Amino acid sequence: MKPTTRRSFLRTTGLLGASAVLADGFFGETRADKPINFAGWVFKPDTVKDYVDVYNQKFGGQVKYEAIPWAQYHPTMETRAFGGEVFDVMYCAHNFRERWYANGLIRSLDDLPGIDEMKKKMNPQNLESLKAKDGKLAGLPYFTSLFVLVYNEPMLQQAGIKAPAKSWDELVEHSLKLKRDKVSDYPFLPNWNVSPSGTMPQFMTDAFSEGANVFDAKNRVIVDQEPGVARAMERWQKVWKAELVNPEVLTKTSSTDTHRLFWTGRYAYHTNHSYYLKTIAGEPENSKLAPKKAKMTMYPGTGQTYMWTDSYTINAKTKTLDDAWKLARFLGGNLAGDWYVQRQWCLISGLDNPYPEMYEHPEIIASYDRWVDLKLLRKQYEKGRVIAAYKEPWYSEYDVKAVPIVHNMIRGGTTVPQGLKELVKLQKSLE
């Protein structure tokens, strides 16, 4: 064994000291005073853990992350708040934001430093949807999405159809031909699943594509006065009656399950959330339509589709507001000029965000090019349409109870005028 000399001792301790400074000081700013509790629903929790680690290292944070199952996420957060627990930063879905804000669970972000700069970078429609009813910003974006129309190119080619449908009439005509020629049992796959992310957002999307409104300026349901909504519903009845749609879609319990049907390559057209195209056209290990055999085309009619923005929110009772805000900016913005988290979601899951400048980043362009025509997707986003009705206290109940009415309409259990009247009546009964 070599004896320890004064020189070797100094050299070793010097190296140790230098590495400690480099490990912490080089990557980090000052360490946060207090730990921050951060909660989100389960979606790629390992990815979230990774970027929380990056944050803790790079920005000197002490973030503790907890993933809570999606199905019970919002009720769990409420019951834990009821029990006195404080999560400083929390995911919040768009249709729960107003409830949390109005009941004092989360705070406005308007008084926090740098918020005006971030607002300027955001697409105005998304910014509007992130605001509470009092006009104050209630969250920073986790992601935004909208409905898109996807088609199965090999199937259309097999049937001699040269270009995807540009209108609803054409889409129905193509579907009838595919069925008649026995190319597909059920050529059309709309997102009519029973969950809150299925039938009703699809209903709004198709109403918007017909140029119709679903809610008036006071957020009341007005579908019985809108001929465009009736046209959309008559079309839904027609495709159902002609057996162009797989009946099982009505019992699918999520949009994820619905989009998986399209992986089989047995359907010609599919409408669903934009990010699902990444797995459909970009994951050959899962989908028969990858790579890029499934393509996006502009939504028919006016091209407008329903768009929403889920968010990161800050607890009104946080005792570490500065640190919570810093973390929220890291997650939902560009802390220190870097869109790290927003970029990661684009790259990993095709989850979009409302910051248009993100889509000029070469890494994003190269990644999207593997599964979608990015320019077309951005053009579709220009047609995205947000609503404000989800800020009303009755919305979540309306959203769930409207599904059986629409399913009955689809299956011809009620006439279109009667079904639309029932929707209006339902909303009035919940006010």
Partner 1 sequence: MTVRRFRLSERCFASLLILPVFLAISLVVLFPLAYSLWMSFADVNLLRATGPALELLGLRIPLFRYVGLQNYLRLLSDPLYWDSFGRTAYFVGAFVLETTVVGLGMALVLHERFVGRPVMRSLLLIPWSLSRVVVGLLWVGLLDVEFGALNGFLYKAGLIDRYISFLKSGFSALNVLVSVYMWNQAPFATLLLLAGMQSIPIELYMAAEADGAGYWQRLRYVTLPALRGILFLVLVVSTVNGFLMLDLIYVLTMGGPGNETTTISWLGFQTAFQFFKFGPGTAILYTLTVFCLLLTVLYQKVMFRKLEAEEA
By the criterion CB under 8 A, which residues form the site for partner 1?
Answer: 71-72, 75, 78-79, 81-82, 99-100, 103-105, 185, 193-196, 246-248, 250-251, 253, 260-261, 264, 266, 396-397, 400-401, 403-404, 407-408, 411, 413
CA 10 to chain centre: 56
Cβ at position 286, least distance to partner 1 in Å: 11
Spatial CA neighbour of 313 closest among 324, 300, 302: 324
Q: How far is the CB of 59 from partner 1 (least distance, A)?
A: 31
| Cβ proximity to partner 1, 105 vs 239, nearer residue | 105
CB 178 within 8 Å of CB 311: no
- Shortest Å distance, C-beta 267 to partner 1: 10
Q: Give the nearest distance from C-beta 185 to partner 1 in angstroms.
A: 7
How much of the chain is in helix, strand and coil states, percent to nearest 5?
50, 15, 35
Instruction: Specify the residue, 121 or 411, whose C-beta has the smaller distance to partner 1.
Output: 411
The 8-class DSSP code of residue 22 comes to I
CB of residue 250 to partner 1, shortest distance in Å:
4
Compute CA distances 258 → 246, 255, 270, whole Å.
Answer: 10, 5, 9
Place of tokens 């006016």: 302
Nearer to partner 1, 71 or 365 (CB): 71
* Shortest reach from residue 340's CB to partner 1, in Å: 32
Under a CB-based contact definition with an 8 Å cutoff, are residues 426 and 233 in contact?
no
What one-letter code names the amino acid at 215? F
| Cβ-based nearer residue to partner 1, 24 or 134 | 134
Structure tokens at 117: 């700069």
Helices (H), 32-167: 45-59, 73-82, 94-102, 115-121, 124-130, 153-158
Q: How far is the CB of 13 from partner 1 (least distance, A)?
A: 50
Beta bridge partners of 18: none
Residue closer to partner 1 (CB basis): 104 or 154: 104
Whole-angstrom Cα distance, residue 215 to residue 389? 7
**How far, CA to CA in Å, does 95 sit from each of 6, 75, 168, 186?**
67, 13, 29, 32
Residue whose CB is less far from partner 1, 272 or 353: 272
Q: Which is nearer to partner 1, 333 or 419 (CB)?
A: 419
